[in-house]
Structure 1
């Protein structure tokens, strides 16, 4: 098993995919987005998996995808709810985890709180705020580093993470 150089966690709209790609590029390593991995393998969107097979089934797929992705090394971005699954949280605990912290204003601007985010389909702002309240303690507990993305460009956030990873090696 290869250890990832960084695992990005955080709520929808934190920039995990965008920043993760940049970090991987700068470190000359692979990037894996577990949501994209699931969509490719299942040939369905995350929203369709939620609707057609239910959240419990999605969480099983997600736990498996995170386990495989983190054993492949590189930079890994995991879905916002992934760390809430106990087996996934235990898997992430010893790894170099970056919690991308974001304000609701920035998150709304990035994801638009569209139907593509199944857990945000009804009353997205209130749901995001509730989910963040529930998830923040887990994100913070698992984080090796907490990096704020509020009001920042992805390249700036990526540069901070790359510096942290290089100082950690």
Structure 2
């Protein structure tokens, strides 16, 4: 968990990994505010993400998302969940790399397709998963996994776990990190 300015922890991962619900569980456990950049984008645009994709296109959504991540990393000091594709933006990658270099913690919430499918529902609220949603999800993960792994301080597999259990697993991983750095846990 970060002791630097900015979020105490940042959650990244694909659709269906549980970023939003795990963020809420961590926020409750740690008595911290929770922020989700997808919600920030919707508030800024005044419409749902799916509507932004349809009316304005993906480039507009990605620009809004990049700005939401930048602002949240500067202003928010609680638990931060990023949209699944936010990490693909080069500026966002640079911001997260700098955040990590300053002692920030980025957690990659990993999930397999079998466990993501029922969580995501592969519905129209997830515009990048339209068409053949399972194939789209697999393609997204092939493109994104290396980025998630490179940016992450720790990786936690969420398959078969409730959000509160994932929060506990994150705490365990962070305790191991602290011990590995020679800090008392």
TM-score bracket, shorter-length normalisation: over 0.9
User: Structure 1 residues 145, 153: CA separation in 2 closer, same or farther (over 3 Å shift)?
Assistant: same
Q: Give me the whole-angstrom Cα distance separating, in 2, the residues matched to 1:164 and 1:20.
A: 16
The unaligned stretches of length 5 or more in structure 2 are none
Q: Give me the whole-angstrom Cα distance separating, in 2, the residues matched to 1:113 and 1:73.
A: 32
**What does residue 30 of structure 2 align with?**
27
**What does residue 154 of structure 2 align with?**
145
Counterpart secondary structure, 1:100: strand
Bigger-Rg structure (1/2):
2
**What does residue 38 of structure 1 align with?**
41
Conservation of the 8 A alpha-carbon contact between 1:9 and 1:99: yes
The ranges of structure 1 where at least 4 consecutive aligned residues each deviate by more than 2 angstroms after the TM superposition are 162-169
TM-score, length of structure 1 as denominator length:
0.95
- Which of 73, 88, 92 is the equivalent residue of 1:88? 92
TM-score, length of structure 2 as denominator length:
0.87
Q: Give me the whole-angstrom Cα distance separating, in 1, the residues matched to 2:70 and 2:31.
A: 22
**What does residue 61 of structure 1 align with?**
64
Q: Does 1:121 align with 2:93?
A: no
The unaligned stretches of length 5 or more in structure 1 are none
Shift, 1:3, TM fit: 2.0
Q: How many residues align?
A: 169
**Aligned-pair Cα RMSD in Å:** 1.5
Q: Give me the whole-angstrom Cα distance separating, in 1, the residues matched to 2:62 and 2:44.
A: 15
Of structures 1 and 2, the one scoring higher in RCO (CA 8 A, sep 6+) is 1
- Which of 18, 40, 48 is the equivalent residue of 1:15? 18
Q: Give me the whole-angstrom Cα distance separating, in 2, the residues matched to 1:73 and 1:67.
A: 13
